Amino acid sequence: MNVRALRRHAGSVARFLLLLFLVTVAVFLLLEMIPGDPVDAILPADASPEQIAAARQLYGLDDPLYERYLSWIGGVLQGDLGRSFQTGVGVAETIAERAPVSLELALLAMLVALAISVPVAVWSAYRPGGLLDRAATFVTSATLATPAFVLGIVLVYVFGVQLGVLPILGWTPFSEDPVEHVHRLVLPVLTLAAGECVLFTRLLKGDMMATLQQDHVLSARARGLPTWRILVRHALRQSSFSLVTVSGVVIGRLIGGTVLVEAIFSLPGMGTMVITAIHSRDYVVVQAMVLLSAAVYLLMNTLVDLTYPLLDPRVRKVRTS
């Protein structure tokens, strides 16, 4: 770790903090930009001016803008994301209750996507133009043209309605019935995984094909190593770094994807929470969700930026020389 690398890391961290600050300001202003008085939503239509004034006083709406920002951000830093205007329940508690559903969905989709795309990409790169490669190319370009919400409904129609083999909608907690829980997760996870599958397969195959042209693969082959060993140890290991470069994009897509998938399959996650909140004008919930997802997204992207040179020594070597 020399001075240059340290300075670059410091730069990344500084940029992260600056962007995070800008994001919090924007998310705070989001609520300000919404037309109408926020207290209208909680007070009866015939509320007297005194009642309105009292409510504004209670929520601190008459303080100057920067003071309200500071008190809001102070609360956020202590884990207080505000209280729903509709239900009066703390937003942080609602999120804590719903986050496991969305996280489980995203994590499983990621694993399924990797489990499908890695073998397909490795074999397609090894035998380009072969049967599997052509089939994979066809399926990926078709999937790329199918938005998640279209794919989800079509899967529901085929497997739920026509074949009747999988349940269509709803959620069963793992603690109630583990088998039913997995059963109900199949279609949502497949829908969410499909898009990532395309991304991983295309990226990994392209990178693997380039890697397989390199000298060390030729030398491994000349030494008579078995094919699987060359593919996995010599080519896949090196090419898998390319997957890390897209993890930022993948996280952003998964956050958006869970919103859609939860809406399609009526799952009780954070996505349905935010959509319900928009429809019931419960803007504090929307604000919290936007803040949280942007913060996570920004943090993950910065981490990828920082760890990439640690994972791939070739990048590190050029940098330090």
Partner 1 sequence: MTELVQDRPVTAPAAPASVADIKPVRRKRRDVGAVFGAAWIALVVLAAIFADVLPLPDPNAVTNAFSAPPGGAHLLGTDAIGRDVLSRIVHGARISMAVAIGATSIAMVIGVTLGMVAGYFRGAADSAIGIAVNFMLSFPPLIFLIAMVTALQPGLVTLVVALALLGVPNFARVARANTIAFADREFVTAAKALGARPIRILTRELLVNVMLPVMSLALVVMATLVVAEGSLSFLGVGVPPPAPSWGGMLAAGRESLREHPLLVLIPALFFFLTVFAFNRLGDWARGRVGRESSI
Does residue 26 interact with partner 1 by CB under 8 A? Answer: yes
How many residues touch partner 1 (CB under 8 A)? 79
Residue type, 17: L
DSSP string over 73-130: HHHHHTT---B-TTT--BHHHHHHHHHHHHHHHHHHHHHHHHHHHHHHHHHHHHSTTS
The interface with partner 1 within residues 261-280 (CB under 8 A) comprises 263-264, 274-275, 278-279
How near is the Cβ of 251 to partner 1 at its closest, in Å? 7
Interacting span for partner 1 (CB under 8 A) from 48-56, 82-90, 98-106, 313-321: 313-321
> Min. distance of Cβ 256 from partner 1 in angstroms?
3
Residue 34 touches partner 1, criterion: CB under 8 A: yes
DSSP for residue 60: T
Q: Write the secondary structure of 212-233 as one string of H (helix), E (strand) and C (coil).
A: HCCHHHHHHHHCCCCHHHHHHH
Regarding 157 and contact with partner 1 (CB under 8 A), the answer is: yes
CB of 248 to partner 1, least distance (A): 5
Q: Which 228-247 residues touch partner 1, going by CB under 8 A?
A: 242, 245-247
Q: What's the half-sphere exposure (Cβ side, CA atoms, 13 Å) at 285?
A: 26
Could you give the count of Cα atoms lying within 13 Å of 114 in the half-sphere of its Cβ? 11
Residues 160-219 that bind partner 1 (CB under 8 A): 161, 195, 198-199, 202-203, 205-206, 209, 214-216
- The residue (of 70 and 315) whose beta carbon lies closer to partner 1 is 315
**Which position among 27, 76, 113, 273 is part of the footprint of partner 1 (CB under 8 A)?**
27
317: number of CA atoms within 13 Å, CB side?
3
Least CB distance to partner 1 at residue 100 (A): 19
Binder among 256, 268, 280, 303 for partner 1 (CB under 8 A): 256
Minimum Å gap between C-beta 50 and partner 1 is: 30
For the segment 39-78, give every residue that binds partner 1 (CB under 8 A).
none
Least separation, in Å, of the C-beta of 126 and partner 1?
Answer: 13
Q: How many CB atoms lie within 10 A of CB 18?
A: 10
Tokens for 138?
Answer: 């066809």
Residue among 64, 117, 99 nearest 271 (CA): 99
Residue 297 interacts with partner 1 (CB under 8 A)? yes
Footprint on residues 109-128 left by partner 1 (CB under 8 A): 128
Residues 6-25 that bind partner 1 (CB under 8 A): 15, 18-20, 22-23
CA distances from residue 192 to 163, 189, 267 in whole angstroms, order as listed: 21, 5, 13
255 binds partner 1 (CB under 8 A): yes
Show the beta-strand stretches assigned E in 111-268.
Answer: none
